[in-house]
């Protein structure tokens, strides 16, 4: 099916998709091409990038457009109830099951189900989902009767599912069954001038909502806006514009100084990063390992400097000057007793090797406890977000379910 640029623009206008970046237009084109089929679609992209909009495009352009459309966030449903939510249950099948209930796959027969955060789905539920995709069959919780359903599944994830497959947390056969057609939704930082278009759109919307004049950006403010990475993507930009619209209603022309007051400062909490192969890393423990191994290397470098210069004040001073960045970088991680100046006036007959070895081990014991660091980061994130786990999990780069498990594990509940 040939799709022209005008077709793409008309569709974006119909569904409220703002932007003209090539990556965005390509995602829209693929969605239009796959919509008339019944193929499974896997939408990938960061949280807040607008993946649900593409699932709606696929549903409304398909032959199922008159059927029901249900969007489900797999990460927000507790593991013990997700099977019941998706496939239903019989009366008395578990505690609290006072009557039988239809699941989403039964209710949405003939329609489309959008499974967001599919990577958070438990392995047992993944096996049930695979059976639906392969045969259109499912069994309610507490029942032995096989039921049929005709549902199209559109899934989405903000993590690399292949990494989950390697870790044994996601079924490989389900991954390939879901990703028949992949659609990549680009993050805001990869969409260039689209950020300005979205800012103007949100500014107009909030001006109408709050009965104020729409705000605008000066050239220096536009430059600052384009430089910011927007880890929360469109959702974060929308919240930013709403704040400025309400709190800066007296001055509708926003300068870079004013905008800088609303853009969050860089956080030191772990965030998702790309490894050497370009894959998204999703393990907070791996990030902590990297930080701690870097710290160990710095400590070893410091020990080498001290050993080489012990008993020679002039050489010590020169080495400290040459490696000032190293000493400054690890200053907070060593005690005053381990500073190089301790050895400047040491007698020649002393054996600094043994003393330095003991001190280094003590510093490592204090700073290289992964559990301690992980617990500290979680506590900082919770304090920063007023104990709101959803936003704390977002800052830490982990799922809300993982954060909940960590809180129970470290007994951080108040």
The encoded tokens of residue 139 equal 């069994």
Least Cα distance to 164 among 122, 200, 128, 119 occurs for 119
Kindly report the length of the chain. 414
CA dihedral of residues 254, 260, 262, 265 (deg, nearest 10)? 170
- Cα 42 to chain centroid distance, Å, stands at 17
For the chain, 414 residues long, give each residue's pLDDT as a single digit of tens: 578 999 999 999 999 999 999 999 999 999 999 999 999 999 999 999 999 999 999 999 999 999 999 999 999 999 889 999 999 999 988 888 889 999 999 999 999 999 999 999 999 999 999 999 999 999 999 999 999 999 999 999 999 999 999 999 999 999 999 999 999 999 999 999 999 999 999 999 999 999 999 999 999 999 999 999 999 999 999 999 999 999 987 888 999 999 999 998 755 444 444 444 444 444 555 566 567 666 776 677 676 666 665 556 666 566 555 555 544 444 444 444 444 444 344 444 444 444 444 434 444 444 446 777 788 888 888 888 888 888 888 888 788 888 888 888 888 875
- For residue 12, the surrounding DSSP H or E stretch is helix 5-15
What are the angstrom distances between the C-alpha of 317 and each of 117, 328, 343, 344, 360?
55, 15, 11, 9, 21
- For position 265, what pLDDT does the model report? 78
Q: How far is residue 238's CA from residue 233's CA, in Å, rounded to a whole number?
A: 9
Tokens for 39, please give them: 């193929």
Q: Which long-range contacts (CB under 8 A, 24 or more apart) does 251-254 make?
A: 252/212, 252/213, 252/214, 252/215, 252/216, 253/215, 253/216, 253/217, 253/218, 254/215, 254/216, 254/217, 254/218, 254/221
Domains present along the chain, CATH in parentheses: 5-186 (3.40.50.300), 189-262 (1.10.8.60), 285-367 (no CATH), 370-409 (1.10.10)
Per-residue model confidence (pLDDT) at position 350 = 44
Contacts of 407 (CB under 8 A, 6+ apart): 378, 382, 389, 413
Residues 6 or more apart from 5 whose CB is under 8 A from it?
Answer: 25
């Amino acid at each position: 099916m040939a799709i022209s640029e005008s077709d793409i623009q008309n569709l974006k206008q119909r569904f409220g998709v703002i932007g003209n970046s090539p990556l965005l237009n390509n995602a829209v084109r693929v969605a239009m091409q796959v919509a008339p089929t019944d193929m499974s679609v896997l939408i990938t992209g960061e949280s807040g990038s607008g993946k649900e909009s593409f699932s709606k495009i696929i549903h409304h352009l398909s032959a199922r457009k008159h059927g029901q459309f249900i969007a489900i966030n797999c990460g927000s449903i507790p593991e013990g109830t997700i099977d019941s939510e998706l496939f239903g249950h019989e009366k008395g099948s578990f505690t609290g099951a006072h009557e039988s209930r239809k699941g989403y796959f039964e209710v949405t027969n003939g329609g489309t189900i959008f499974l967001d955060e599919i990577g958070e789905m438990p392995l047992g539920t993944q096996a049930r989902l695979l059976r639906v995709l392969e045969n259109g069959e499912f069994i309610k919780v507490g029942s032995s009767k096989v039921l049929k359903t005709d549902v199209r599944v559109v899934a989405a994830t903000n993590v690399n599912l292949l990494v989950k497959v390697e870790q044994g947390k996601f079924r490989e056969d389900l991954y390939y069954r879901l990703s028949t057609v992949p659609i990549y939704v680009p993050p805001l930082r990869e969409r260039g001038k689209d950020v300005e278009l979205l800012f103007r759109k949100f500014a107009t919307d909030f001006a109408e909502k709050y009965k104020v004049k729409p705000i605008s950006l000066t050239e220096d403010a536009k430059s600052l806006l384009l430089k910011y990475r927007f880890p929360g993507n469109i959702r974060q930009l929308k919240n930013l514009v709403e704040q400025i619209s309400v709190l800066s209603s007296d001055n509708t022309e926003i300068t870079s100084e004013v905008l800088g007051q609303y853009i969050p400062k860089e956080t030191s909490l772990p965030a998702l990063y790309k490894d050497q192969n370009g894959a998204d890393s999703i393990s907070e423990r791996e990030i902590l390992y990297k930080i701690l191994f870097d710290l160990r290397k710095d400590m070893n470098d410091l020990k080498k400097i001290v050993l080489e210069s012990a008993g020679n004040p002039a050489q010590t001073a020169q080495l400290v000057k040459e490696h000032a960045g190293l000493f400054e970088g690890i200053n907070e991680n060593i005690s005053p007793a381990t500073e190089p100046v301790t050895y400047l006036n040491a007698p020649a007959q002393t054996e600094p090797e043994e003393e330095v070895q003991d001190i280094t081990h003590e510093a490592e014991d204090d700073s290289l406890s992964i559990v301690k660091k992980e617990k500290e980061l979680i506590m900082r994130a919770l304090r920063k977000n007023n104990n709101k786990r959803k936003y704390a999990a977002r800052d830490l780069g982990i799922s809300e379910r993982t954060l909940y498990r960590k809180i129970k594990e470290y007994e951080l509940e108040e």
